[in-house]
Amino acid sequence: MAASETSKETILRYAFGNVLSFFILVLIGVLAFSIRLFSVIKYESVIHEFDPYFNYRVTQYLTKNGIYDFWNWFDDRTWYPLGRVIGGTVYPGLTLTAGTIWWLLSSLNIPLSVETVCVFTAPIFSAFASWATYLLTKEVKGAGAGLMAAALLAMVPSYISRSVAGSYDNEAVAIFALIFTFYLYIKTLNTGSLFYATLNAIAYFYMVCSWGGYTFIINLIPMHVLLCIVTVMTSEHFASFLVFIIIHVVALVYYIKGILSPKMFKVAVTFVVSIGVVVCGAVLAVLIALVASSPTKGWSGRSLSLLDPTYASKYIPIIASVSEHQPPTWPSYFMDINVLAFLVPAGIIACFSPLSDASSFVILYIVTSVYFSGVMVRLMLVLAPAACIMSGIALSAAFDVFTRSIKFQLPGATENSERDAGETSSNSVVAQNDVAKTEKNEDAVKERPSKKNRKKEKEKENVEKPSVKSQIKKKLLILPLEASIIAIFLLVLLGAFYVVHCVWAAAEAYSAPSIVLTSHSQDGLHVFDDFREAYAWLSHNTEVDDKVASWWDYGYQTTAMANRTVIVDNNTWNNTHIATVGTAMSSPEKAAWEIFNSLDVKYVLVVFGGLVGYPSDDINKFLWMVRIGGGVFPHIKEPDYLRDGQYRIDSQATPTMLNCLMYKLSYYRFVETDGKAFDRVRRTEIGKKYFKLTHFEEVFTTHHWMVRIYKLKPPKNRIRGRAKKSKSKASSTTGTKRIGTKKKNPWH
Amino acid sequence: MASFREPPSLLLLLAVFSLALLSVSADSDSQRVSELLALQSRSKSGVIHLDDRSVSRFLTSVKTPRPYWLVVFFDATQLHDKTELHLKTLHSEFALLANSFITNNQDPESPSHGKLFFCDLEFKESQSSFGLFGVNALPHIRLIAPHQNPKESHQMDQGDFSRLAESMSEFIESKTKFVFGPIHRPPMLSSKQLIVIFLAISIWIPFAIKKIVIGETLLHDPKIWLVGSVFVYFFSVSGAMHNIIRKMPMFLADRNDPNRLIFFYQGSGMQLGAEGFAVGSLYTIVGLLLAFMTHVLVKVRNVNVQRVVMIVALFISFWAVKKVVYLDNWKTGYGIHGFWPSSWK
């Protein structure tokens, strides 16, 4: 009778634990969503940065024209005159997701704009991602670790940086898809259920639809399968599969033998075998030829730079030019995963004791992702979930040991202290631990009737046995009381530091939309809204079919906000085209005019930060224009722009630099602002202050001079003698050095 | 770059040179070329070692235009131990360049044969020649055209030997219009070594397969994997990839005080090698200690041992975290702060 009472009590406690963990998960979801709203509160509900504008534009198109038109969309507003097939070249996962949400809401008569839906997609999916983390970690090390990992993931800065409200990019949904796919994979491994395997395939498909990072999964899961086979963890399955296949082959052979005469059978065997050998040989030869014929041996540039980290910096400037492809230094880790960096090794060790299929998978995940993150800072995003899972496991294991030590050694603790402590303690950590045990047993109870398979029964026993054993053992494995109290205190302190850091990172570091900028000075807050000002000017004052040239960074924004045709954009698929624009920007005025004119460009847009001190302007990006341009058109030579190995725009600048289009368009009339032409980004006075433009005219400069728009002057339709005269005049102003080395227009 | 003080006796030496110049001017051009060819064939690397006397013989005393071009590498043995100058590497690359040029233009009929010679000068032996060229910093490579005198000859920029022999050859090609041909780098392994390695592997493979089948290799030991994964983690978080890609040195010498070494670089875009490994080990040690406490120490029977080890481990962990937080604030300059309710202030 006492036994029944205790069992009743335990059931009640398990129920209580389940409800509690449900509420904790709800709170984690709220936390994940709300920590990402700083950008909306501090700025406004606006789409951020560059790529999200493209996604936003695609989503708008989808909601307006429907899925079939979206699929067949050929965009003539970009990559003029080539255009771009959007439907076939885009990852549709994000767009379809947001489109579906919008459609669902509007069919429920909730009138939200497409922009609002796009802005809040990322925070919503962050909540989903933290729940997926809970599920994944629960499969590996129980519910306590799961809750801990989910809470950590809800506010890990690395993930926040890509998923604040307004950051409407592929990663927003892809990280959720990634974690969820991993969860379903492990669930499939643990249960062997076909249902989860099917779900896994669907989640995998969604992931592939969403993000180029799916290559990570596509390699990681087979690697894990291979590892499982090699290390003989599931060798029994493997052998059984092999036997299964062999039996069927043998049966087939006997069947055929039965229906054929012995002679015919021999002929058939030789026929099949020889055909098989020939086909295999041919396929192998073709494969080898294909791989050998490509200069990179079949690898793409980005993946090569992962394997040989020095590859990109040597050979592909367009990959090396992107700041998120740089290798991170140690402070990046502290910034992006913060104290998790300390906890991960403990998590790795916890996963090794004991090693199971699930835990070997997360080990493989952390090891590969941490290596890749060391090569490219952008892959820190893939590391973050792994770090959260590992840290969750480590923290959960640590709290488990320390709270147990306290529980058993508290003054007045009896044999039954475990139960008492669990009920009376207000410490949520203890509660979590109980929940962990609860869920494990609950699962076992729930699954019992559904298990008809004997193999599964055996597995379940395997799960249960160690837990019973470990409960007996655990009572002996304790640490000194006072040291455990200190340890718990320090761990809580560490967690508090993590929370402070994450909130700070979300509020201060990662919430700037970069389309609207602010700065604090003595006389208060300044808002720089020059980008939208410029795009609005373009959309109101230019013809619908006018072409606007700018460096590729501003392509997506120009098409989305100004609705004008651009030459290149952030989808850097055509290096030659980008190099053409780079060449134009680094050529002298006349040559640049010819290049732009041949591309039907009417307006040239440059971003200039010299007046307000905005550092990521075109002059700072200029070295990449020269490098990418010079990579395709060899008459652009980087040393011509360098003085002592540096790009300089002051009085030490080279004549080539002072005469190139980018310099002129950036600094035209700049001296009129303060009389000295002092560039606040480069912290120097510019080299050439007074000059006139011969082939371009200024049409618009924004309030803080951050965006300047120039119009190509129409070609002179005068007689030749006159043109010659003006040409000689022009060359006298631009210096004599260039005349001898007249450049050809690379576009022809 | 190292700098030299010009020898005081420079003028005197120059006077001596001009005397010597008069005396030997009778020699014909073809004689000089064959002499240079002989010197070149005598040298193992194909680089002719010059001194003050031979400089005057082949350069200053010859009437312009000379029938050949000279490329001169300025060397100083006393500076070979200064790694940041890369003199040794550059010199060996220079020798490689010379060798490749000679093998590519062996045919006496080819237009480049006997037209371009690679020479080197040593500072201690030929101080006056250094003065003659006006060289006061190393590394320094000069290309002397047939019609030029030493001071106005072309100097190779830093950028021209940044990619070693390849960029040097490009520089010379662009200035001389000689065709250089490919650079012949010696293969990493000689063919004999390759055969030995191949034999060793083919002998080893059957044993390896046997071991794998039995399941007795090191790879079957989870501890190896554990150590491996923790090491990969340590390696990555220490930013070692950054050091490899950017070729960062382990530490720098202080500009103001050369005896002091800088181990930590302020500014988050860059890090030094030693700095990365130091912080990487701080990152790793905390986790390792925590795991040690939760997985190993609990099994220890003696309570006092447990107590002492735990206190020490906690103290080290606390110190490591504090140190990293301090270093991070110092390096990045971020002021991380909490957001407290305004009524609390």
Q: Tell me: do B166 and B237 sit in the same domain.
A: no
Q: Which residue of A has its CA nearest to B264?
A: A330
Is residue B76 predicted with pLDDT exceeding 50?
Answer: yes
Task: Please write the tens of the pLDDT for every residue from B12-33.
Answer: 555 555 545 444 444 577 788 8
Chain-chain contact of B287 with A232 (C-beta, under 8 angstroms): no
The CA-atom distances, in angstroms, between A186 and each of A112, A141, A227, A536, B275 are 38, 12, 14, 50, 38
Q: Tell me: do B169 and B53 sit in the same domain.
A: yes
Residues 6+ apart with CB under 8 A from B146: B64, B65, B66, B67, B68, B69
Q: Which residue of B has its CA nearest to A337?
A: B237
Task: Please write the tens of the pLDDT for every residue from B255-310.
Answer: 777 777 877 888 777 888 888 999 999 999 999 999 999 999 888 888 899 999 99
Rounded to a whole number, what is the distance in Å from the CA of B73 to chain A's nearest CA? 21
Residue B58 DSSP one-character state:
I
Q: Tell me: do B96 and B154 sit in the same domain.
A: yes
Mean pLDDT of A665-670: 91
Rounded to a whole number, what is the distance in Å from the CA of B135 to chain A's nearest CA? 18
Is residue A405 predicted with pLDDT exceeding 60?
Answer: yes
The CA-atom distances, in angstroms, between A466 and each of A9, B291, B297 are 23, 20, 20
Q: Tell me: do B166 and B227 sit in the same domain.
A: no
pLDDT of residue A475: 55
Other residues' Cβ atoms within 10 Å of the Cβ of residue B136: 14
B12 exposed, middle or buried (CB, 10 Å; 0-12, 13-18, 19+)?
exposed
Contacts of B341 in chain A (CB under 8 A): none
* In-domain check, residue B17: no
Closest C-alpha among A677, A618, A622 to residue A647? A622
Chain-chain contact of B237 with A374 (C-beta, under 8 angstroms): yes
Confidence grade of residue A649 (pLDDT, cut at 50, 70, 90): confident
Helical H segments across A294-329, by residue range: 301-307, 311-315, 317-320
Of B240, B268, B299, the CB nearest to A477: B299
Rounded to a whole number, what is the distance in Å from the CA of A400 to chain B's nearest CA? 9
* In-domain check, residue B302: yes
Residue B298 near chain A (CB below 8 Å): yes
Q: CA A298 to CA B105: how far, in whole Å? A: 36
pLDDT of residue A243: 66
Rounded to a whole number, what is the distance in Å from the CA of B323 to chain A's nearest CA? 12
* In-domain check, residue B329: yes
**Backbone CA torsion sign across A723, A728, A731, A733:** negative
* In-domain check, residue B295: yes
Closest C-alpha among B116, B149, B133 to residue B21? B149
Chain-chain contact of A349 with B288 (C-beta, under 8 angstroms): yes
Chain-chain contact of B229 with A371 (C-beta, under 8 angstroms): no
Helices A92-107 and A170-191 pack at an angle, to 10 degrees, of: 100
Task: Please write the tens of the pLDDT for every residue from A182-235.
Answer: 999 999 988 888 899 999 999 999 999 998 888 888 888 888 887 777 665 444
Of A310, A342, A501, the CB nearest to B287: A342
Q: Tell me: do B156 and B228 sit in the same domain.
A: no
The one-letter amino acid at B129 = S
Q: Tell me: do B39 and B167 sit in the same domain.
A: yes
Task: Please write the tens of the pLDDT for every residue from A4-21.
Answer: 777 888 899 889 999 999
Angle, CA of A599, A748 and A721, to the nearest 5°: 85
Q: Tell me: do B172 and B37 sit in the same domain.
A: yes
Of A334, A353, A480, the CB nearest to B328: A334
> Which is higher by pLDDT, A180 or A372?
A180
Q: Which residue of B has its CA nearest to A333?
A: B237
Of B219, B238, B314, the CB nearest to A486: B314
Q: Tell me: do B117 and B244 sit in the same domain.
A: no
Q: CA A630 to CA A125: how far, in whole Å? A: 42
Chain-chain contact of B314 with A497 (C-beta, under 8 angstroms): no
Lowest mean pLDDT among A292-296, A344-348, A700-704, B341-345: A292-296
Chain-chain contact of B337 with A501 (C-beta, under 8 angstroms): no
Confidence grade of residue A154 (pLDDT, cut at 50, 70, 90): very high
Of A328, A363, A494, the CB nearest to B242: A328
Range of the domain at B230: 221-336
Q: Spell A208-217 as b/e; 16+ CB within 10 A means b.
A: bbbbebbebb
Rounded to a whole number, what is the distance in Å from the CA of B103 to chain A's nearest CA? 28
Q: Which residue of A has its CA nearest to B238?
A: A330
Confidence grade of residue A459 (pLDDT, cut at 50, 70, 90): very low
Q: CA A441 to CA A436: how far, in whole Å? A: 9
The one-letter amino acid at A182 = F
Do A142 and A188 touch, CB atoms closer than 8 A? no
Rounded to a whole number, what is the distance in Å from the CA of B68 to chain A's nearest CA? 28
Q: Residues of B numbered 268-287 whose beta carbons fall under 8 angstroms of chain A's beta carbons: which are they? A: 268-271, 275-276, 279-280, 283-284, 286-287
Chain-chain contact of A500 with B337 (C-beta, under 8 angstroms): yes
pLDDT of residue A443: 43
Chain-chain contact of A347 with B287 (C-beta, under 8 angstroms): yes
The CA-atom distances, in angstroms, between A400 and each of A391, A690, B71, B284 are 14, 72, 73, 21
CATH assignment at residue B121:
3.40.30.10
Rounded to a whole number, what is the distance in Å from the CA of B203 to chain A's nearest CA? 23
Chain-chain contact of A345 with B288 (C-beta, under 8 angstroms): yes
Q: Which residue of A has its CA nearest to B314?
A: A487
Confidence grade of residue A592 (pLDDT, cut at 50, 70, 90): very high
Q: CA A713 to CA A697: how far, in whole Å? A: 6
Chain-chain contact of A363 with B225 (C-beta, under 8 angstroms): yes
Contacts of B321 in chain A (CB under 8 A): 339, 342, 494
Strand partners, B109: none
The CA-atom distances, in angstroms, between A721 and each of A589, A591, A727, A729 are 21, 20, 10, 13
Domain count, chain B: 2
Q: CA A477 to CA B29: how far, in whole Å? A: 93
pLDDT of residue A495: 94
pLDDT of residue B15: 53
Q: Tell me: do B143 and B51 sit in the same domain.
A: yes
Picking from B122, B156, B176, the residue at the C-terminal end of a domain is B176
A250 exposed, middle or buried (CB, 10 Å; 0-12, 13-18, 19+)?
exposed
Chain-chain contact of A479 with B283 (C-beta, under 8 angstroms): no
Residue B295 near chain A (CB below 8 Å): yes
Lowest mean pLDDT among A445-449, A702-706, B139-143: A445-449
Confidence grade of residue A160 (pLDDT, cut at 50, 70, 90): very high
pLDDT of residue A163: 92
> Which is higher by pLDDT, A433 or B266?
B266
Other residues' Cβ atoms within 10 Å of the Cβ of residue B266: 10
Is residue A23 predicted with pLDDT exceeding 90?
Answer: yes
Is residue A736 predicted with pLDDT exceeding 60?
Answer: no
The CA-atom distances, in angstroms, between B266 and each of A331, A620, B269, B333 are 11, 22, 9, 9
Of B158, B229, B325, the CB nearest to A348: B229
Task: Please write the tens of the pLDDT for every residue from A89-137.
Answer: 889 999 999 999 999 999 999 999 999 999 999 999 999 999 999 999 9
Q: Which residue of A has its CA nearest to B322?
A: A494
pLDDT of residue B242: 86
Chain-chain contact of A346 with B225 (C-beta, under 8 angstroms): no
Q: Tell me: do B227 and B143 sit in the same domain.
A: no
Do A47 and A56 touch, CB atoms closer than 8 A? yes
Is residue A246 predicted with pLDDT exceeding 80?
Answer: no
pLDDT of residue B210: 75
> Which is higher by pLDDT, B213 or B55?
B55
Of B229, B242, B294, the CB nearest to A367: B229
Which strands make up the sheet holding B48-50, listed edge to edge? B48-50, B116-122, B69-75, B140-144, B154-155
Highest-confidence segment of A306-310, B15-19, B99-103, B274-278: B274-278
Contacts of A401 in chain B (CB under 8 A): 293-294, 298
| Best to test chain A binding among B236, B285, B289, B325 (most A CBs inside 10 Å) | B236
Local structure of B62: helix, strand or coil: coil
Is residue A507 predicted with pLDDT exceeding 50?
Answer: yes
Do A182 and A361 touch, CB atoms closer than 8 A? yes
Lowest mean pLDDT among A40-49, A56-65, B9-18: B9-18
Is residue A468 predicted with pLDDT exceeding 60?
Answer: no
Do A431 and A424 touch, CB atoms closer than 8 A? no
Chain-chain contact of A348 with B337 (C-beta, under 8 angstroms): no
Confidence grade of residue B213 (pLDDT, cut at 50, 70, 90): low
Rounded to a whole number, what is the distance in Å from the CA of A705 to chain B's nearest CA? 28
The one-letter amino acid at A164 = V
* Mean pLDDT over each residue of chain A, to the nearest integer: 82
| % of chain A exceeding 90 in pLDDT | 43
pLDDT of residue B217: 63
* Mean pLDDT over each residue of chain B, to the nearest integer: 79
Helices A170-191 and A357-375 pack at an angle, to 10 degrees, of: 150
Q: Is A321 left (phi over 0), alpha (psi -120 to 50) or beta?
A: alpha
Residue reference for tokens 């368009």? A665
Do A140 and A150 touch, CB atoms closer than 8 A? no
Picking from B122, B154, B176, the residue at the C-terminal end of a domain is B176
Rounded to a whole number, what is the distance in Å from the CA of A304 to chain B's nearest CA? 14
Confidence grade of residue B66 (pLDDT, cut at 50, 70, 90): confident
Rounded to a whole number, what is the distance in Å from the CA of B182 to chain A's nearest CA? 19
pLDDT of residue A435: 41
Q: CA A273 to CA B98: how far, in whole Å? A: 58
Residue A660 DSSP one-character state:
B
pTM of the model: 0.71
Task: Please write the tens of the pLDDT for every residue from A528-587.
Answer: 899 999 999 999 999 999 999 999 889 999 999 999 999 998 887 888 899 999 999 999
Residue B167 near chain A (CB below 8 Å): no
* In-domain check, residue B6: no
Other residues' Cβ atoms within 10 Å of the Cβ of residue B82: 14
The one-letter amino acid at A664 = K
Q: Which residue of B has its CA nearest to A365?
A: B229
Mean pLDDT of A429-441: 42
pLDDT of residue A132: 96
Q: Tell me: do B227 and B141 sit in the same domain.
A: no
Residue reference for tokens 């501890």? B223
Q: Tell me: do B152 and B230 sit in the same domain.
A: no
Strand positions, DSSP E, A278-347: none
Contacts of B279 in chain A (CB under 8 A): 330
- How many helices (H) and strands (E) chain B has is answered by 11, 9
* In-domain check, residue B277: yes
Is residue A466 predicted with pLDDT exceeding 90?
Answer: no
> Which is higher by pLDDT, B71 or B182?
B71
Chain-chain contact of B328 with A331 (C-beta, under 8 angstroms): yes
* In-domain check, residue B212: no
Mean pLDDT of A356-385: 90
Residues 6+ apart with CB under 8 A from A487: A398, A402, A479, B293, B310, B314
Cα Rg for chain A, rounded, in angstroms?
32
Residue B67 DSSP one-character state:
S
Chain-chain contact of B337 with A504 (C-beta, under 8 angstroms): yes
* In-domain check, residue B193: no
Q: Does the interface ipTM go beyond 0.90?
A: no
Confidence grade of residue A384 (pLDDT, cut at 50, 70, 90): very high
H or E stretch at B116 = strand B116-122
Q: Which residue of A has its CA nearest to B234?
A: A345
Strand partners, A606: A708
Q: Are strands A696-701 and B137-138 parallel, antiparallel or unpaired?
A: unpaired
Q: CA A73 to CA A57: how far, in whole Å? A: 12
